[in-house]
Amino acid sequence: MDNLGLVAIVSITIAGLTIAIGAVGPAIGEGIALANAMRALAQQPDKANTITRTLFVGMALVESTAIYCFVVSMILIFANPFWNHFLNQSGG
Q: DSSP assignment, residue 86?
A: H
* Nearest by Cα to 89 from 12, 6, 31: 6
> Has residue 87 got a pLDDT over 80?
no
Element (H, E) at 65: helix 48-78
pLDDT digits 0-9 by tens, 32-50: 999 999 999 999 999 999 9
Predicted confidence at residue 85, as pLDDT, reads 78
Residue 73 has a CB neighbour count (10 Å cut-off) of 20
Domains of the chain with CATH codes: 3-78 (1.20.20.10)
pTM for the model stands at: 0.73
Count of other CB atoms within 10 angstroms of residue 91: 5
Do 65 and 23 contact (CB within 8 A), yes or no? no
